[in-house]
Structure 1
Amino acid sequence: MFSRFVFGLGLLSATALVNHPAFAVDAPTLQIFVSKDKQSLVVYDGTEVIATSKVSTGKAGHTTPNGIFSVLEKKKYHESNLYSAAPMPWMQRLTWSGIALHESNSVPRYPASHGCVRMPPAFAKQLYRITDLSVPVIISDAEVAPEPIAHPNLFRPDLPEPPLLLSDAELRPAIGENRGEPVQLAMNSAAPSPVAQVAAPENTDPIRILITRRTERETVIDIQTYLNQLGFSTGTPDGLVGTATIQAINTFKALRPAQFKGDKALVSETLLREVYAAAGKGEPPNGIIMVRQDFMPVFEAPLTIDNPRQALGTHFFALHAVDAKNGKADWLGVTLKNDLSRQAMKRLGIVANESSIVTGTPIANALDRITIPDEIRRRIGGMLAAGSTLTISDTGIGPETGAGTDFITITR
């Protein structure tokens, strides 16, 4: 109680609003929202505002990126590697490329930094004391706030059902590194082998979930996996188009000249459909779900996105409370503005933005369009803990997501 009281007193000099100084803080469920329009930072526990502060974000030429981040590293004192060893006390890192929350004696409440989010000294120090690594930080132009979201497609607690079906392919790392250990990659295989027996998870830390569109990496892994099963050797499925994969693809195409007439690309939708058909796998998936925990990849699996030519948008969900006994989960959600460029829309095969949907809300429309395999839904249900998060995005993981990060989604 004394520490909470001290925290409340420390915030009073730096914030425009603070709840009663004896507020309860449940660190795993905290969320931090930064508004660049208002030059403000708001700390939430669920929908309750814990505290707010003025900030200074990046000035012209050094704009603070918008998006979904989390605290990757904390240091009481840090010096900038980019800007003449400038001091950054009470630093909470958001990207390994140099964006962070930190104390500054210059917080004029207009964009003034080199990209970081500056905070007043008293607030920066006290915020540092209540945050854990991986606390979500959402940065946007306009102010947004988490709201309760109820939808049948959101995950609920459940014990995973043994067996969990995995592919014949050798287990391989998902995005990022896993200290040399293999990461499970679930595939929609009709006759999977081996069968993995899955017990209740020992690690009860919150998980990070990303649902996005499949990239060429996942497409190539599927093609390699199923060509191997069909007798066209590609080597170990790794998503890389090497000599063995090229030879296997060309041999497969040569046996089906009619299907590939006029198809000049080595890897194409036609190739994916034909390989799936030959392997008896039905329609290829167009989405992927990835799971991380403690900044490390855990597993990934295919899923289906309905009406793929329509953008999903960018949506962020946080699990505030979970009742495993009764199978209940209290999710909070926000939608972030993310105007896709023409180049991005062409690359992703999108012809209409999510804002063109006139019925319902963007966040519900996105959830309605996602179909997740039951075995994957059960596995995630067995891993849920308060503070777990889910991101839905058209644009994939992006270059900021890597070793030692949660899923980082840049919206601008």
Structure 2
Amino acid sequence: MKFRLATGMSILGLVLSCGTALGGTLEGPLQIIVSKDQQELKIYDGGVVVATSRVSTGKAGHSTPTGIFSILEKKRSHFSNLYDNAPMPFMQRLTWSGIALHASNSVPSYPASHGCVRLPNDFAKTLFSVTRRGGHVLITDREIAPQRVVHEALFKPAVVVPDTPLLADAGLRPALIEAGDKSVEVAMTDPKPAVVTPVVQKTEEDPIRILITRRGEREMLMDIQALLNTLGYDAGMPDGLFGKQTVTAIRAFQIAEGLKEDGMVTPELAAAVYAKAGKGTPPNGQILVRQKFKPLIEEHITIRNPEIALGTHFLLAREVDADKGKAEWYGVSMDNQLPQTTMKRLGITTEADAALPGAIARTLDRLDIPQDVRMRISSLMGEGASLSISDTGLGPETGEGTDFITVTRKVQKAEAAAVQGGKKAKKKKKASSVTAVN
């Protein structure tokens, strides 16, 4: 998202009684972060806070999901069709399932909504005027702040004159993501349009969105189907669907290669199929690129030490200069505890810790991205390009008419430790009080 906050547009409109902002002229991609524990929204220009506001997120039973979102739709006037046609002015939709930023007359600085993020009227109005569809919004359980990240693996702009077209027309390969233990009840239930065609002018303000994640079971099956076909085993259309024809082809391959005949898709089967086809080892990662909500690139990458979780990270590019081949990246690491079932499925034995210094750099150290892929992405780099990194792939919120949406899961261990620590502190304080009285 690119905010253009000039002196003439009255930056005080972002302040009023809602929060604070910096004066002067600010140009560049700004980052919106909503902290649930602080009940506060902050706008960052790089690592500097330029505006703040109190918010009200979802109350108990209507929790606001956390994660990496982007603005999918904007409406000055909107009404809830679930809660008595309640007004939701200056609505900025974050998910098609019903989560949004919107203005409200009731923003008590504690969780009070039915899932959306409420903003004071004046702040919401001015924020609405300076955002655009595709702008990122992060919602977190605890307060985080962007930090400058310098790493050789991060993309820089480059001018490339290829012999063949740069942009792949690869379709999406959906995977599953766990959004938490409980379902989220939301304040908006407008159905997702059958076909979403965002009306966005192609300008320098339409930055690319990059996602790096692990390859899912469906992606692996699609590759196995395609390779079995080349080896003479008719697995049918490489669609990632585990049907009768695919099972028959797998069994035939297993018999021919002296493997256990069970028709199952396993890492061992994938390794055998790749080796037989002369393709080396199966890739365990993928990189995807979207622009204007549409898929452009989907390619394989390698994740070293795959037993260690990647974690969940978000980075935004600023000061992108194609002439100098430079870009400044600012990033955050987000809490996201993977369920044990997911860790087992992905072969993860070591969890990520978002609070550790250098978490982003350690993850970037483990990514091997083919040079030709890097060059294709570098040729698309512009101001406001973003990079999301996640273990769990494409979730149900990511689809047609969206950027890459990553829903995170609260770290239960941290929560339990905090609760236990609070109880101990309270008990200690009570004992001190009794001693003082006596």
Please report the TM-score for the alignment, with normalisation by the length of structure 2.
0.82
Other-structure match for 1:231: 232
Residues 215-294 of structure 1: matches in 2 within 5 Å? 215-257=216-258, 260-261=259-260, 264=262, 266-294=264-292
1:238–1:14 distance in 2 versus 1, CA, 3 Å = farther
How far apart are 1:296 and its partner, in Å? 1.1
Q: Is the 8 A contact 2:79 2:87 kept in 1?
A: yes
1:73-92 mapped onto 2 (5 Å cutoff): 73-92=73-92
Question: Which AA in structure 1 matches 2:402?
Answer: T
1:60 matched to which residue of 2? 60
In structure 2, do the counterparts of structure 1 residues 145 and 4 end up closer, same or farther at CA, with 3 Å as the change threshold? same
Structure-1 residue corresponding to 2:185: none
Residue of structure 2 equivalent to 1:395:
392
Work out the number of aligned pairs and report it.
382
Q: Aligned equivalents of 1:101 and 1:243: distance in 2? A: 46
TM-score, length basis structure 1: 0.87
Aligned residue for 1:155?
A: 155
What per-residue deviation string (whole Å, max 9, x for no partner) do you get for residues 160-215 of structure 1? 4524699xxx96521479979xxxxxxxxxxxxxxxxxxxxx97520111101110
State the distance in 2 between where 1:80 and 1:155 align.
Answer: 41
Would the aligned equivalents of 2:173 and 2:219 in 1 still touch at CA under 8 Å?
A: no
Tell me whether 344-353 or 277-286 shows the greater mean CA deviation: 344-353
Identity %: 52
Counterpart Cα distance in 2 of 1:123 and 1:399: 31
Q: Which moved more, 1:219-228 or 1:65-74?
A: 219-228
Q: Which residue of 2 aligns with 1:16?
A: 19
Change (3 A) 1:336 1:100: same
Is 2:89–2:103's contact at 8 Å kept on the other side of the alignment?
yes
Q: Which of structure 1's runs of 4+ aligned residues deviate more than 6 A? A: 176-180
Q: Report what 1:130 is aligned to.
A: 130
> Which residue identity lines up with residue 225 of structure 1 in the other structure?
A
> 1:243-297 CA distances to partner (integer Å, 9 max, x unpaired)?
332222221112112xx23x74611111110110011011111011111111111
Partner of 2:405: 408
Structure 1: distance between partners of 2:399 and 2:334: 22
The separation in 1 between residues aligned to 2:286 and 2:332, in whole angstroms, is 21
Distance in 1 (CA, whole Å) between partners of 2:169 and 2:232 is 20
* Cα drift, residue 2 of structure 1: 10
Q: Label 1:237 to 1:211 Cα distance change in 2 as closer, same or farther (>3 A).
A: same
Q: Identify the residue that residue 31 of structure 2 maps to in structure 1.
A: 31
**RMSD of aligned C-alpha atoms?**
2.6
Is contact 1:161–1:379 with CA below 8 Å preserved after alignment? Answer: no
| 2:350 is the alignment partner of 1:347 | no
In structure 2, what is the Cα distance between the partners aligned to 1:332 and 1:384?
15
The superposition leaves residues 118-161 of structure 1 with CA deviations (integer Å, 9 ceiling, x where unpaired) of: 00000000000000111110111111111111000001112345
Report whether the alignment pairs 1:380 with 2:377.
yes
SS at structure 2 position matched to 1:157: coil
Structure 1 contact 227–275 (Cα < 8 Å) conserved: yes
Letter of the 2:218 counterpart: R
| Matching residue of 1:118 | 118
Amino acid at match of 1:206: P
SS of corresponding position for 2:239: coil
Matches of 1:82 and 1:103, distance apart in 2: 17
Structure 2 distance, partners of 1:239, 1:340, is 24
Q: Which residue identity lines up with residue 18 of structure 1 in the other structure?
A: A
